[in-house]
Amino acid sequence: MEETVMHRMKRGAITCREDCTVREIAQIMVVNRIGYCVVVNERHEVVGIISPRSVLKAFGMDLDSTTAKEILLPYTITITPRSPLSEAIELMNKKRIDHLIVVSDRPGSKAVYGILHGEDLVRAMAGIGG
């Protein structure tokens, strides 16, 4: 049986709400030592992602009034925990991305379960980690 995303993903993700300010997002990223912050709506469903480049787009703006909703990258590329790892790798290669947000496989839900990073897959290919 083929390995699934669930076995290689990092469970949980650092998130912020759409109304979070850029200053708050920058603080979240620095304190948690992360390069991405997943933006969620009031139902905790993925609406986008904030990268360091997204934050830099706010340079010169009021960091205390500019919100995540204004700078996020709309994020529609997701995968579910039960998806085959091969599907995740194909998707990452096709879309030229380093990570996938793992969401609930319940119909109608995009609740965040975790993140699958390219580094996790490289470690698996090297036989390191579980």
Structural domains of the chain, ranges and CATH numbers in brackets: 5-125 (3.10.580.10)
Helices (H) and strands (E) in the chain, counts: 5, 8
Closest among 113, 110, 90 to 12, alpha carbons compared? 113
pLDDT tens series, the chain, 130 aa? 688 999 999 888 899 999 999 999 999 999 999 888 999 998 888 899 998 989 999 999 999 999 999 999 887 788 999 999 999 999 999 998 888 999 988 877 778 889 998 888 888 778 776 5
What's the rounded Cα separation, in Å, for the pair 126 and 122? 6
